[in-house]
Structure formats: structure tokens, C-alpha cells
Structure 1
């Protein structure tokens, strides 16, 4: 029987729209894509987007992998881009949106280090510009296929993530980032799905387990021996299968699954490791594991 996760060949022409918060890493993404053979156009006005795609013909193979970087320059950005995307859809042009984001503190720090103003701050503060930009980009972020949170990344780790996302022949069919985190440090900004495993007894209260982590065998045995732990992982995996199949049908290639406990040290780490191991056994699925808050305490 043919696998429900059978590999989908990339389209002959790929159009990727790169946008997101100023200072979050759009230029780094663009440079990484150029290294992988993409033709990148930066700071394209929304009105020019449809015209650019009209150049995609067999005679212009250089545009078969086209990435367009678009940023906020004025309050007219949002309606103009919405119109441009609607024109693409009406013309039957397929595209994907990659949105780079970071928390306000990280973005303010980057602007201050670069000694430059935010394009929308006017006479106000950098933070005022960021708030205005977030308001403009909310709808676009919600419709983005790929959201990358660069709060804790540098140019090297972001470039590596883009390399993992895009192969020589186009986007990887389905790449999952399975992440553990601690609720006390806040929800991950780029999570598509969040699961709470605080129903499992906390190894923190077992003296011999407290200094260990969810990567250690003794902690894993404790976690998976708890009532409901194995049932949760098995049921959650089964619940994700139709979601992954839906992603394949909709030509979506990336998702982040976040597993949270109180501090992100024991339960969420153990469950993340096991869930990732099982997901990696599915055909045409690439899994990356990360532990956001491990080591923070």
C-alpha cells in the first residue's frame, strides 16, 4: 500500500515570500537562500509582486526558485500586500510565506546595537515602531506557512535552520521541530501545537532525580511509569497523523510541536525525546529536537 506520507515532488517554480519583524533576520534568511541557489529580490514593493512572477517562464529558469523579501515601510504595506497576494491566488500562482519573528526585547537590543531607528518609530521609541509593525503584520503572520522565532538565534544558527529547511531541489516535504519548554518561561512564539504534560508527577520532587534531566534514563523511566504518560504519547501521535497528512495535501512543509512542563527540565524533555523518536519513524518526515529551557535553572 502506498504510504499516506509519500514524498511530494517540489513544483517546477517555487515562490517564497519572506517577511516578518524588522531586525528578526530577513536578510540572513535571504543570504542563506542565495547560497542554495535561490534568486532573491529584496525590498520589493507589493505592487511589483505580480509583475515579477510573470517573468517566470521556461526561458527564465533563474527564477524557478524565487524568494521575495518584503518589509514594512509605510502604513499602506498591509492592504497593498493583501491585494498583491489575492492577485497571485486569482492568477493561480502558488506561493509560501516565511515569517521571521523575535520578542520585543531581542529586537530592541538589535536595533540599539546597530544604532539605527525602526522604520515605523517616527519621533517615538524603537518599541513604538515595533508595536506598530506587529499590528500591521498580525494577519500575515497568521497565514504564514513557516514561522521562525529568532529570539535566541544568531546569524549562524538561523542560516543553519534555513539550510535544514531547504534542500537543493526545494523545500523538504515535512520537517517537524519537536521542542520542550517550561511554562514559567512563557509559551514558544513559533509553536503550531502546544501540549501540557504537567499532569505527570514531577521528578523535581524526587531528591535523587532533581539534578538530572529528561534525557537521563532514570528520569525517563519515572516519567513513563506514571499513569497516563504512555497513553498520552500514543494518543497524541495518532492525533498528529491526520494533521501531518493534511499538511502534505496543503503543501505545508514545516511545523513546531511544543511540549511543556513547569520548568522545561524533566517531564517535557523526556516526552519530547520519545515523541520525536516515534515521529521520526514515519515516512517522509524529518524531525529536529530542541530543548528551549533546559539548563536555565
Structure 2
């Protein structure tokens, strides 16, 4: 099994999330992983893991090419899957968002992939039943129409794409189908925010039986603030103690994954009230250092 991460920009939180995720897989993966590929424009953040990962540095031109004719940024996720699958078409491929970690059995995932089962993080619901403004608009735009040669119907599920695991058999076929669906959705000006997610959902479900990765892999997309604080503390301690990767893996054995929520949905009203309170009650006595004037 080949792991794949796609990380852009200089936001250090994204990179320490990826480092932590990689460590969580290395604890189980020595005999199950053929390799770990990090596609990034910031390779310096992965020097510490140089013995465990292969960094593919991507430049702005390649990233623009991967975004395609319609400049849809997250099309690059599907192109990264294609890039790695072409290098090792005989190996199952497991893509992970940075805000993920392994808490279940990697061996079980490996066995299911070998049996021809694909994974995405979780099945959210058929797109036709989802209730957000974006999802309702998408369904109105695609209902009964063909994209990538697939006619969209009421049972096509929206899956969360924080995890995408593709068996070796028919992998390039499935990825090519996802690209065609994504490009057709873009060409027809379908609301773009969830296009790559839905394209992968449909392409994989049309090609393989599907399972949720949620029992094995945590995805804390809605609770990043809490997880970033704990992960940052763990990695800072590693830095201060100059831990080797082996020592980090040993220390990770004591990390309690169950104390932090992996999902927490708050109402938009709460966000609006929080912003309003912050505006009405700003902090007092804010003070900065004043530079001395040189004489």
C-alpha cells in the first residue's frame, strides 16, 4: 500500500498535521506500506522524515496544469492520485488529507483493498437528500444529466474525501473516470466547492464496492483547533528533546486519541454571535513592544 499526502503553502499547521498523520501510520506500517509520497511545494517541512517518505516537490506550473482548463484547485487531488498510481499501478493507493490519523487496523484496510474494496472516509448521504445550500444547488444542476458518461441519479452518494483508498485493480480506470466527471462538472459550471469530492464518490462507487474508512482513520476536519493544539505540543516536545523518528513512534504510543472529538458541528448562529461579541467587547489594554529610537 502506498500512502499519498498533498500539502500546499506555508501554513505550518497543515504540515505538522501531515507529519503527525505519517507518524500514526508508521507505527503499524513497516511491513504493510510500500512507501509514503508527499506532494508539496514546501519540502523543508519533511526533512525530519526523510528516511520514511519520498517528497515530490511540485512547482507552480505543474500545480496550474493539474488544476486543468477550468482552474479548479482541488482537481489537483485527483491528478496527484493519477501521478502516484501511474508510478506504481500494481500497488493499492491510500490518499489522506493532513487532518487525519490512523487509530484502527491498517492490516484490515490492506486486506479489504486486496479484495477489491475501495474506501472513502464516510458516506454522508445521497446528494439528492443533503440539505446545505451548496448541495441542494448541485443536485438541481446535475439531476438526471450525464457527466463523464455517468447519468446522475438519486442514489449517488456523497462521500467525505478526506480519505480515498483505491485498490490496485482498475485504479487508473477509476481515476480517469473521476477526472472526466470533475471536468464535465466544471465545464457545465456546476457549483464548484464539492466537485472533486463528488467526482471521486461517483467514480469509485461505479468501479468498486465501497466501505467507510472512519472505523480505522480519524478525520478531525471540524475540530482542528483542539487537535492542532495537542499535535503542536507533541511535536514541540519532540523538537526540544531532539527525538528521532523511532523515539517519536514510541512516544506516540502514549498519545490518547480518545480525549479529543473528531467531529463537532456548531450552528452558524453560534459563529455569528461569537464574532459579534468579539466586535462589541474587544480586548482591553493591548500592549506591544516599542522599539527604541537609535540616536
**Normalising TM by the smaller chain, what interval?**
under 0.3
TM-score by length of 1: 0.26
The alignment's TM-score, normalised by the length of structure 2, stands at 0.26
